[in-house]
Each structure stands twice: as C-alpha cells, then as structure tokens.
Amino acid sequence: MSNPDPNDNGIIASAPAANASLETPAAAEAGNLPLGIAAGSVAALIGGVLWAVITVVTEYQIGFMAVGVGFLVGAAVGKFGHGQDNVYRIAGAVLALLGCVLGNFFTLIGFAARSEGVSVFAMLTQIDFSAVPGVMASTASPMDFLFYGIAIYEGYKLSVKS
C-alpha cells in the first residue's frame, strides 16, 4: 500500500482544473462568424422585404429604409456573431449592401406584379434575370447610393460585439 496523501479527501483534485481549461478567456471571447453571417443574411432578407412592402404600399421610396436595413443587419451580425475582428464588420457591411439591393429588387418585382395584376410569386417566375441589373441601374438615383453608403457604414459599425 502506498502512503496516503494527507490532502486527498477522496475527490480528484485535478477534475475542476481540467474543466476550467475547457473554457479559456480567449474561447469565451471568440465569436461565431458563421452564425453571425447567417443571422445577418436573414436580417438582410427581412429588411429587403420590409423595404419593398413599404415602398410598394406607399408608392414612395423612403431612403431611410436603407439605413434601417444597415442597422438591422449590423445588429444581427453583432448579436449572434459575438466577434471583434474586422471580418465581422466586413460581413455586416456586405450583407447590409445586399439587403439594400434586395429591397430595390423586391420593390421592382412588387410594382411589376401590381401593374401586371399577378402575385409577386408569379412575377418571380416570369422574370428574365439577365435583364435585372440593367433595370436596377436605370432606376437608381444618386440618393440611392448615398443611403446605400450609410447602410454599409451602419452594417460595418454595428457588426462587432460592444
């Protein structure tokens, strides 16, 4: 028989230390980029749809909708991504721009569906997608780009954990 350890009370002393090493401060602070991008993508889609619905219903495009999309996307990437790196900011900026482009695209679809007397979903099946960039470019105004820039800034600024 070996000499008993006077500090051994029958509990393995190394177990808490082993569990504590599983979650280091760096691991606790690490973000989740895929989750942040997924949340930002959903936010961009929701923001784009809301933008289009409001624009088609009011028959007036409100530039501040782009700012709202940027805010929504940035907040989603920041909340769900929990990251501090610039890659989160870049993801938020790109997704905010995507949300704005989707907002304008869905708006065009909404107006086309209304003028043709068909549903939005029916209109989506009738579109010549190769013509979409040209139509979107022809309907763009300098103010659109100003608000896109603000949306990109909001997406960039809000996409990191504060």
At 38-79, the pLDDT tens digits run 999 999 999 999 999 999 999 988 888 999 999 999 999 999
What is the percent of the chain with per-residue pLDDT over 70, rounded to a whole number?
A: 81
Two structure tokens written together for 91: 């993801």
More reliable by pLDDT, 53 or 11: 53
Q: How far apart are CA 79 and CA 57, in angstroms?
A: 31
Mean pLDDT of the chain, nearest integer: 86
User: Where residue 30 falls among pLDDT bands split at 50, 70, 90?
Assistant: confident
Helix residue ranges per DSSP H, the chain: 14-22, 25-29, 33-58, 64-81, 86-116, 120-126, 132-139, 142-158
Q: pTM higher than 0.75 for the full model? A: yes
At 75-116, the pLDDT tens digits run 999 999 999 999 999 999 999 999 999 999 999 999 999 999
pLDDT at 63: 82
User: Where residue 1 falls among pLDDT bands split at 50, 70, 90?
Assistant: low
